[in-house]
Structure 1
């Protein structure tokens, strides 16, 4: 068939629905027991099927919608219909190859539904949840963006050329093909595909489009610059950031990961931060004071 455009490049490299593997046979959901927190209280949902996005809008929407659905799943009053896919590996490939978003796939129940129909059901339940529960500002914004994108997909997915990564890149490649009279199989098209995802802001094609106002933004450059130096102030990232900053200033040898704050030049000087949502800890304060 030659080269064809895929919505999700990652879909081509997923071979299992659920698995503890990450490299040998990539699953949609990884179940390796690494909560990076207190295992008695927390579990980590490790979804590794998603593409890495360039669009701020796409990133905010996918994380926000997922977070809202997880909140709903943890609410015993919310009942979600079983929409399990019969063969998730085949289904995500078939969905990825259909830019109309109308391709129907078989569910475990025997009925068929398109990705749009499945998303519509989840969105409708999220809207009902929002009617009876208080959402924070991020959840409200994610829900509004979700509604906007679903309206766009219902009319024509290709109209979301400022919001959704795969649509933005699709139009970019189509314009390039038309200008240079080439096919998608041409190496120049593959190069442009890679250049779209270049994270160097001085040469990455996406960032050139962003600088010219061709895509939607969630942040401004000042937000990004601040986040490089200042971690979130409502999670344990604040504890890590405070420790790293002080250790660097005092020129101390240290090791930091998700949970551990460790001074390498002192025996038994390690603090475990097992609560991801704890932004103040007397033990960390004492460790910093000891520097």
Structure 2
């Protein structure tokens, strides 16, 4: 695929040098660098079933909702960091958002992401229990007497007494009444954001040039899928967020959304790291879909950071946002566009990056491929092979868009509607209003966080899904393992992962211990800094940590040691 004459990209050497040695293939192999930091921010849809409105700050309800998560009593609701290092808050449009702690591998990231989803499920269960009459009303009254709710007590009581329940929480990105094909603005779409640490000195144009073609086509396996409807015609989109992407690059996240977000809030030493912030992806129910798309992005970043490896390759690519929307509506996988001076489809662009990655890790051995990388490359190739063969049912246990196609076909068959094996029929099709309502209802229920009401969970337990899994596992045995076992959720609920999240956990625990000795009113906490504040809102002690890999700092260690020292004798 290399073509020196077609190269439109100038690659700059990295400022951060690393030691090299000669691999078995005769190429320079980089010694292992510190693990890439990855994180996810997932906005959830929260709605009372009575009127469908989202959380409103005027109710005082966010204060109650956020206190249902495992956090210290000293953390303020505006800076609600959890014991596990994650953060929960109410984002634009009244959407509860769970931001994972900084993680150093994608498997760990997925476990902390799913722990957040289960926290949302528990919060929904608890709130709806509080709304029930008799004994649970007494529980609610007791909760409202807690001093933390004093400023919002009357508004909270009004909200509960107005019967704005039961509430429901969804992990999706688009309102069910969205009109297919329209330009979407405002609160009808909410986000799923990805963060990746990259060397600070990599030029932005290099990130943009390499990433745009990859990210705008990644949705063929990374999308969550949705059924759009307009003028009685339904169509299936491979991605929800693709419908709101209208620019290639931009710094905004609420309006004028773009495939590649230029926002750079490093939350670390700005001379060492840039935080690549992506807003174009979907919120997946399947942990395997999230795992593959995040790991594949890390793989592309590995290659991008090797200045010599990509030199001379033509990545010329225009109108990434337009192509992303086109790809989302192309479930026949054969729409073409220009990339690198050649005609491509979304499938062939993904194959292009996969082939580069295989040469990078295995052919030239530029860096060593760990087990997670090897498994991701295998699943990536398996997915592309099955898509090419139009054998997509076998992918449905692992990828949300294909699960929805598989289930929708079964629903249509049950109603006597014939569906050809070729999935392109879902591009545009007419059904009666009852069938359309059922498809839209299924689409929404797929994203329920409440396990017993989730179509995703029901499908995962079905005989059909088990048979398809057995078929896939014969090719890729590692798919048999549970990516997020129950014991992992339990651990991630209360404990931070390695890195700076452990530092925040230690800071919280130190504040709680100090509060037993002296009066601490609250902890002001952010990703890279924190302070203990007294009754007069004066900081008692402040701390900072600009290295996302660092688990302890000298100032925090000294503070903890001083607390442990016995008080001096007054005699």
Q: Offset of 1:179 from its aligned partner?
A: 2.8
Give the secondary structure class of the aligned counterpart of 1:192: helix
Which of residues 376, 397, 403 in structure 2 aligns to 1:168?
403
The match for 2:502 is: 238
Cα contact 1:100–1:157 (8 A) shared by 2: no
Q: Which moved more, 1:32-41 or 1:249-258?
A: 249-258
- Please state how far the C-alpha of 1:106 moved relative to its aligned partner: 2.7
Provide Cα deviations, 1:222-262, integer angstroms capped at 9, x if missing partner.
Answer: 112211211212x2111122323444566552122221122
Tell me which of 272, 284, 291 is aligned to 2:544. Answer: 272
Q: 1:200 to 1:286 in 2, by over 3 A?
A: farther
Residue 270 of structure 2: aligned partner: 39
Q: How far off its partner does 1:73 sit?
A: 0.9
Partner of 2:390: 156
Q: Output one character per residue of 1:33-90: Cα deviation in whole Å (capped at 9) or x when no partner.
A: 3112111111111111111111111111111111111111111231163334321121
Q: Pick one of 92, 99, 105 that aligns with 2:331.
A: 99
Following superposition, the deviation at residue 134 of structure 1 comes to: 0.9
C-alpha distance 92-278 of structure 1, shift in aligned 2 (>3 A): same
Distance in 1 between residues matched to 2:266 and 2:487, nearest whole Å? 32
* Aligned partners of 1:173 and 1:193 also within 8 Å: no
Bigger Cα Rg: 2
Contact 1:3 1:184 in 2 (8 A): no
| 3-state SS, counterpart of residue 170 of structure 1 | helix
Distance 1:84 1:11, change over 3 A: farther
Contact 1:184 1:190 in 2 (8 A): no
2:295 aligned residue (43, 46, 64): 64
Could you report, residue by residue, the CA deviation over 1:80-139 in whole angstroms, capped at 9, with x for unpaired residues?
6333432112101111111122221233x5532101111111101100111113122222
Q: 1: distance between equivalents of 2:274 and 2:235?
A: 38
- Equivalent residue for 1:88? 320
Once the two structures are TM-superposed, the CA of residue 199 in structure 1 deviates from its matched residue by 1.9
SS in 2 for 1:206: helix
Counterpart of 1:282?
554
Q: Give the aligned partner of residue 254 of structure 1.
A: 523
Q: 1:19 aligns with which of 221, 227, 250?
A: 250
Name the count of aligned residue pairs: 289
Deviation at 1:273, TM superposition (A): 1.5
8 Å contact kept, 2:531–2:539:
no
Structure with the higher strand share, 1 or 2: 2
Mapped to 1, the partners of 2:371 and 2:279 lie a distance apart of 27
Separation (CA, whole Å) in 2 of partners of 1:280 and 1:205:
43
Question: Structure 2 residue aligned with 1:142, among 364, 376, 382?
Answer: 376
1:152 CA displacement: 1.4
Quote the offset at 1:290 in angstroms: 5.9
Are the structure 2 counterparts of residues 245 and 140 from structure 1 closer, same or farther at C-alpha, using a change threshold of 3 Å? Answer: farther
Change (3 A) 1:150 1:257: same
Which structure 1 residue ranges, 5 or more long, are not aligned?
none
Secondary structure of the 1:46 match is: strand
Name which of structure 1's ranges 223-232 and 172-181 shifts more when overlaid on structure 2: 172-181
TM normalised by structure 2 equals 0.47
What is the RMSD computed on CA atoms of the aligned residues? 2.4
CA distance in 2, matches of 1:157, 1:9: 23
SS of 2:387's equivalent in the other structure is helix
Cross-structure match for 2:455: 205
Give yes or no for contact 2:248–2:259 (8 Å, CA) kept in 1.
yes
- 2:414 alignment partner in structure 1: 179
Task: For residue 194 of structure 1, give the secondary structure of its aligned residue in structure 2.
Answer: helix
Change (3 A) 1:170 1:284: farther
Aligned mates of 1:112, 1:49 — CA distance in 2: 24
Larger relative CO (CA 8 A, sep 6+): 1 or 2? 2
State the shift of 1:5 in Å. Answer: 0.2
What is the distance in 1 between the residues matched to 2:408 and 2:533? 50
State the alpha-carbon separation in 2 of the partners of residues 17 and 197 from structure 1: 28
Residue 48, structure 1, aligned to residue 279, structure 2:
yes
CA contact 1:255–1:264 (8 Å) conserved in 2: yes
Whole-angstrom CA distance in 1 between matches of 2:561 and 2:323: 55
